[in-house]
Structure 1
Amino acid sequence: MGYRVLAEVTMAVHFLFIVFVVFGGFLAWRWPKAIWSHLAAAAWGLCIVLFDLNCPLTYVEDWARQRTGESGLSHGFIDTYLTGVIYPERFLDEVRLLIAAVVAVSYAGAVHRARTRFRRG
């Protein structure tokens, strides 16, 4: 039972991490120091996409699922839980571009707000 809980918690943390990668830049609008953790998360997400890296959270979930007797993940987290489930696989490139646009808008807004704060003193 412990491995099943670990697998489920890891899956939830992984999902939250992806939500943070997509929308976390908007936190910097309110809390400017949040940009540093978001830059690290976004860079990691970009490296995973560009270099086809495996996320450590995927390894943990896969390992825990195998310990419960399941077959584990046949692909990565995104391929298993998002692509083909949340959006059709044929739109993967468009979804990636949309995510990049959301991150860019969040950063542009954060820069704008930081400049406004700086001008006010």
Structure 2
Amino acid sequence: MIYRLVWQATMAAHFLVIAYIALGGFLAWRRPRLIWPHLALCAWGLVQLAGLAECPLTALENWGRAGAGERGLLPGGFIDTYIEGVVYPEAYVWHVRCAVIAVVLVSWAGLAIRIRRRRTRPGRTTGTPAAPEPGALR
């Protein structure tokens, strides 16, 4: 029972990590400090795409599956097992990867614009309140 729980919790964590890699930059628009874990996970995603290391979540899920008497993930890991051929056809792998990269880059560009606007707003750069507009109620 515990092996099945480990396997399923790891599968859910995998989905969350992939969603955060794709969309975490947009969360940083609201909470800029979230960009740091997002950048780290994006770097890890590039390591995974290059095949330089095995994902620890994949290893943990395979361990839970083996303990539960199930077969492990496909050789390509989590994405090959649950996403490619299920969410989108395998023929579109590079299209989907390019689309995800584009979404991430758009989120980063949007974050850079938002940060720049915050820094250039009157009253925000020095920490003093902005002067009231003429005719504003006091």
- The residue correspondences of 1:56-67 to structure 2 (distance < 5 A) are 56-67=56-67
| CA displacement at 1:52 relative to structure 2 | 4.8
Q: Between Structure 1 and Structure 2, how many residues are aligned?
A: 121
Question: Could you tell me how far apart the structure 1 residues matched to 2:82 and 2:110 are?
Answer: 30
Stretches of structure 1 lacking an aligned partner (at least 5 in a row): none
Q: Within 2, Cα distance between the matches of 1:74 and 1:90?
A: 17
Partner of 1:13: 13
Counterpart CA distance in 1 for 2:64 and 2:114 is 43
Partners in 2 of 1:74 and 1:66 — Cα distance? 13
Q: Tell me the secondary structure at the aligned position of residue 48 of structure 1.
A: helix
Which residue pairs with 1:68 in the alignment? 68
The match for 2:131 is none
The runs of 4+ residues in structure 1 deviating greater than 3 Å are none
- Partner residue in 2 for 1:34: 34
Deviation at 1:33, TM superposition (A): 0.8
- With normalisation by structure 2, the TM-score equals 0.85
Query: What is the CA distance between 1:72 and its match in structure 2?
Result: 1.5
> Partners of 2:38 and 2:104 in 1: how far apart?
10
In the other structure, the counterpart of 1:111 is: 112
Q: 1:74 and 1:88 mapped to 2: Cα distance?
A: 16
Give the structure 1 partner of residue 136 of structure 2.
none
Q: Percent identity?
A: 51
Counterparts of 1:51 and 1:63, CA distance in 2: 20
Unaligned runs of 5+ in 2: 125-138
Greater Rg by CA: 2
- How high is the TM-score relative to the length of structure 1? 0.97
Shift of 1:54: 1.7
Indicate the structure whose relative CO is greater, using CA pairs within 8 Å and at least 6 residues apart: 1
- C-alpha distance in 2, partners of 1:53/1:86? 24
